[in-house]
Each structure stands twice: as C-alpha cells, then as structure tokens.
C-alpha cells in the first residue's frame, strides 16, 4: 500500500505493510502496539513500542509493518528556517540570563 505521510493515526493489522517516500524531517511515533520499520540506507531495522519514536533523516523508502499489530502517526518537522530561528531565539534568551 502506498500512502503519503500524514499527521493522522494509521492503524496496521498483523502483516499489513505500508511504504512511504519523501519523509525527510518527519518523526514517526508509535501510538499503539508495536511497529517494525525498515529505512532505506540504514543498516538496522527498528522496532518501536507504544510511545517510542524515530526521526527520518532522508527521503528514501520507509517500510512499516505492524508487529503483530500497531498504530503510528507522523509528526512533520518545522521547516528549516523556522527551526533555525527557534535555535537563535533560544540562544539569545540563554545569553541574556548569563551574568
């Protein structure tokens, strides 16, 4: 099944497999059960339990399967200019608090 990453919860039955591409900068969070992930270009697979997450670092193929069943949702990262601005604001705030 081919879908695009969304912020809604996706439930996977035992043996159901989902494939994604173009997920760079997103974070996958397991919201129920367990999910098994294979990420193109990474040597190891990942098994996420409820409450655990994985940040996706590139746009390669991501395969996700319930193990034996599970649910997950995507959290899209902020665009890089917003992330960078947030870092600068935090640094300036921290510097102002220093004696």
Is the pLDDT at 49 greater than 60, yes or no? Answer: yes
Q: What is the number of other CB atoms lying within 10 angstroms of the CB of residue 72?
A: 25
- Could you tell me the CA-to-CA distances from 63 to 14, 34, 39, 79, 80 in Å, in that order? 14, 14, 6, 24, 25
What is the predicted pLDDT for the residue at 35? 92
Q: What span, in angstroms and rounded, lies between the C-alpha atoms of 64 and 86? A: 31
Is the pLDDT at 94 greater than 50, yes or no? Answer: yes
- Domains of the chain in start order, with CATH, are 10-97 (2.60.120.10)
Q: In terms of pLDDT, which residue wins out, 83 or 68?
A: 68
Is the pLDDT at 74 greater than 70, yes or no? Answer: yes
What is the predicted pLDDT for the residue at 73? 84
């Amino acid at each position: 099944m081919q879908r695009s990453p969304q912020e809604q919860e996706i439930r996977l039955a035992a043996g159901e497999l989902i494939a994604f591409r173009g997920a760079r900068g997103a974070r996958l969070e397991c919201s129920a059960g367990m999910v098994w992930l294979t990420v193109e270009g990474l040597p190891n697979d990942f098994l996420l339990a409820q409450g655990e997450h994985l940040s996706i670092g590139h746009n390669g193929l991501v395969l996700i399967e319930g193990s034996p069943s599970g649910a997950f949702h995507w959290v899209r990262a902020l665009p890089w200019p917003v992330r960078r601005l947030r870092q600068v604001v935090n640094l300036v705030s921290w510097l102002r608090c220093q004696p």
